[in-house]
Amino acid sequence: MVSPTDFGTYLVSGDTDSLLQEGYEAVASSSDVQLQRSALAALGQLPDDRRVFPILLKAMENEALAGDALLALAGVKDSRGLFAAINLYKQSQDPSLHQRVLQYIHATGDPRAVEFLTSDVIGKNEALDDVARSAYHAVTTRDDHFRYRFVGRESLYADASQVTGQIMVTARNLDANARLIENEEPKPQTYVIPAVSKMMFVGGTIHEHVLVAGGEDVLAAGEIRFQRGDDGLWHVEYVNNRSNGYLPGWQSFGAVREFFEGHTDVKLEKDRFDEAFPKHGYNDGDFLALQPFGKNP
């Protein structure tokens, strides 16, 4: 029988598989709240393992564990948690849970939370206003780019690391693949900027963002169209942030601009996306209804 101290032992020894298995069993089946909280605290120290998130999401279904799950989620900084946290906030009347959601947003610095904070929280509850403003400051003044994790099917993610054929965006590579890039009616290319390399890749004939990214977290993802100008140089004609696999914010344009300013000879002469998605923002009721714990508006 596992005990609360066993989770710490698994963590120290690096026995991640046991921690995940026993952690899930504790969250899903145990009636021992101390055991469950110990499991969540340990799971919150595994930021690079995407298998943690479904366990934390399961814990968030339990009112007694939701606050602890949010603390663990803040520890792993998994971008998939934001919309579940926002839905919990909107549906709960518990001030302590509201505070945990805001603490989670502060810890992650997820820029997609801006509309939620300004529309639903700041100025709406005096008791939470300082925490909300602190969270807003965290998401609007970060000095790095936010990392987005793939939100789609695990079966698709499992295949991603084996996919080849991505094209790094340089003038030379676009020249070599001009038949894919240039058409009478050019279709946008799927693009990503993986968080590790910070280089932009387009898919060529690959259309799923996670396959272009090799399964990695990204700083930006969307659709892009290139054209050659009269001077023969490649430039960006159109770019957006539409990616159902990563759901990046409009703020991810900063990573796009940084790439074109310092890492390629292809030209970008824009100061924002040509279109930002979703059209009505990430705090839209119809969008949130499709996310974990969502309800029809």
Sequence-distant (≥ 6) Cβ neighbours of residue 249 within 8 angstroms: 110, 111, 112, 146, 241, 282
Positive or negative CA dihedral for 249, 254, 257, 258? negative
- Give me the chain's average pLDDT, please: 95
Fold of 4-144: Leucine-rich Repeat Variant (1.25.10)
Does position 186 have pLDDT exceeding 70, yes or no? Answer: no
pLDDT of the residue at 185: 59
How does pLDDT run across 106-162, given as a tens digit for each residue? 999 999 999 999 999 999 989 999 999 999 999 999 989 999 999 999 999 999 999
How does pLDDT run across 206-264, given as a tens digit for each residue? 999 999 999 999 999 999 999 998 888 999 999 999 999 999 999 999 999 999 999 99
Burial class (CB in 10 A: 0-12, 13-18, 19+), 21: middle
Task: Give, in order, the Cα–Cα distances in Å from 271 to each of 158, 236, 267.
Answer: 35, 12, 12
Give dist(CA 53, CA 72) in Å, integer: 9
Over residues 9-29, the mean pLDDT reads 96
Residues of the chain within CATH 1.25.10.10 domain(s) are: 4-144
Give this prediction's pTM: 0.95
Does position 288 have pLDDT exceeding 70, yes or no? Answer: yes
Longest dimension (CA), the chain: 72
Give, to the nearest 10 degrees, the angle between helix 82-91 and helix 95-108. Answer: 160
pLDDT of the residue at 183: 65
Sequence-distant (≥ 6) Cβ neighbours of residue 69 within 8 angstroms: 40, 56, 57, 59, 60, 62
Among the listed residues 259, 144, 154, 148, the one whose alpha carbon sits nearest the alpha carbon of residue 213: 148
DSSP state of 282: T
Angle at 155 between CA 150 and CA 160, to 5 degrees: 60
pLDDT band at 205 (very low <50, low <70, confident <90, very high): very high
